[in-house]
Chain A
Amino acid sequence: MTRLIEIEDLAVSFRTDRGEVEALSGVSLHLDEGEVLGVVGESGCGKSLTALAIMGLVPSPPGRITRGRIAFAGRDLLGLDEAAMTRIRGEQIAMIFQEPMSALNPVFTVGEQVAEVLRVHEGLGRTAARERAAQLLARVGIPDPARRLGQYPHELSGGLRQRVMIAAALACRPKLLIADEPTTALDVTIQAQILALLADLQREFGMATMLITHDLGVVAQVVTRVVVMYAGKVVEEGPVEAVFERPSHPYTAALMRSIPALAEGVSRLPAIPGTVPAPGAWPRGCRFAPRCTHAVPECGAGVPPLYPVAPGHHAACIRHAA
């Protein structure tokens, strides 16, 4: 398989009142064509920021990419000017968001908003764009698309709105779809439907998908490879089966333990003590060490690199240093 996205040592800083604060420090990850990559981690660990960096949408100022490289299909995205990046957004890389309630503009009909993408990128006329929009809505499983086209976002349910967003994202058949917590705001049955739809479309269009989530259940359902992030760094990556069977970073293992399992009965669900430290307040050495049950003094010595655990499976924990 060919590499679609290759991120190397990406670091993003924000200028704040307390000076320059690093929010991503040296993230490396890759994504092959047609692959479904899950990016998991608690809130504030840099998942969404990584996605925004790929899109070239890191808010700037105050944000700034301080080092690293993002290659998309062999092109260096960080070196592109705004005009070139605008062509890539929506056409090659599309993104859907967590809140389908607010991701659609309330003053336009959903038809206009899906058609807008086609008019911007493919230069379609009003009628042609509307027709294609209707086909897209039908494709993402919206019943009676002709009627829905003329409706405003507030007339649609959350699930339908997320489908509309997906339709808009797929309008130009992007090579990469970034889905940032696409099901978090939806109720469970709708979640399953949207995930099934995404998996279905992914197969049909053959696009690579980067699924950002904090829900490991979602990851297990649809993802082929998983990247675990913690405090602005990748702490583990590998094929989804391997990571689930043998979580090799204590953080991943702790995340696994905090999934409620129906069979386990009444035992209290283990939670990870503490919270993710804020950017700028990161401990020296391994950033998970203060919350880690395996921590030893050596953890504070230096930031552990990704050590191989098995072929294609890496974890940033000194227990795997060989």
Chain B
Amino acid sequence: MAVEAAVAPLAPPRRFPTLRRLFRHRLFLIGLVLFGTMVVLALGAELIAPHAPARMQFRMRFRPPGEGFLLGTDNFGRDILSRLVFGARLSLGIGFAVVLVTGIAGTIIGLAAGYFRRVDEPLMRAMDALMAFPAVMLALAIAAALGPSAVNAVIALSVVYIPRTARIVRASVLVVREMEYVQAALAFGGRHLWILWRHVLPNSLAPLIVQLTFIFAYAVLAESILSFLGVGPPPPTPTWGNMIAEGKDYIREAWWIAMWPGLAICLTVLGLNLLGDGLRDVLDPRLKVQQG
């Protein structure tokens, strides 16, 4: 009967709808592959690197990409592929540490500023003051003052990116705070910290996750700049930035020394941006409309 046909069983609800939508997003997948490859290279550096990254073979200087040295050798006869994968470990490691520190500190500051009106003004004006400096200039100044090392690079970059994160979190907290379930939680006797943790934070996370992927990209880029300028981890530790710095003097004769790390930075940043765009499209449809 027609009636029976009309009440055909509904499809069972699919699990993890967000994940499914992400994996149908083509650019997100490309980003995932690019960034994933870099992460695999960084994690498996010991297995992938054919040579020790610091081993100098003077007879093998300036070997072009090809036989024996897949990506060629540099001015000290070091294998570029090996340096590249170990450099990936440091560059991505610093990027990840920056994301972690920025995410935690920015979230705490943003939650406090958005939820407790009394601390909003002082906190956000302090953040504005930090944002008034050009990002790389500020990071350069801090890194130079602290001295060249990986930890100091993380500190410098975190200081630069915390204000951005705090702003994003504060903006979503301002919206979530006015939601009736926050009122309801208060009316049921919830304490402010508990409400922040249970009700405000989880509902403010989507824009933060998106922002953090972009900050990861900026941090990788900014770390290369710091290393290039000599305030990152000092040589002989390979980072993509100091590899480019060393290679730039020979770019006419041996273009591959500077090109491979440059390409690695480029692909990593591209991958992270695609990841971020995909996450934004899926997690925050409103933002997508606003930004076109």
Contact = CB atoms under 8 A, between A and B. Distances in A.
Please indicate whether A and B come from the same complex rather than being unrelated chains: yes
Interface of A: 55, 57, 61, 86-91, 94-99, 102-108, 116-117, 120-121, 165, 168-169, 171
A102 B180 contact: yes
A116 B198 contact: yes
B187 A94 contact: yes
Nearest 10 interchain pairs by C-beta = A90-B189, A90-B188, A95-B187, A89-B189, A103-B180, A102-B180, A105-B181, A107-B202, A103-B184, A117-B188
A104 B187 CA distance: 12
Nearest to A55: B187
A117 B189 contact: yes
B194 A120 contact: yes
B190 interface: yes
Contacts of A165: 184
Nearest to A87: B189
Nearest to A99: B180
Residue picked from B181, B184, B188, B194, most chain A C-beta under 10 Å: B188
B229 to A, nearest CB: 43
Residue picked from B180, B186, B189, B198, most chain A C-beta under 10 Å: B189
Given A61-B117, A97-B183, A105-B181, A89 B202 contact: no
Chain B at the A interface: SS class: helix
A62 to B, nearest CB: 9
Interface residues of B, number: 18
Nearest to B195: A105
B179 interface: yes
B181 A104 contact: yes
Contacts of A99: 180
B191 A86 contact: yes
B288 to A, nearest CB: 19
B203 interface: yes
Nearest to B201: A107
B39 interface: no
B70 to A, nearest CB: 48
B189 A91 contact: yes
Contacts of A91: 189
Nearest to B199: A105
A153 to B, nearest CB: 9
Given A86-B189, A103-B181, 8 more contacts: A57-B183, A89-B186, A89-B187, A96-B184, A97-B183, A103-B184, A104-B184, A105-B202
Contacts of A61: 117
B188 A120 contact: yes
B185 interface: yes
Contact of B185 (A87, A96, A102, A105): A105
A147 to B, nearest CB: 13
Nearest to B184: A103
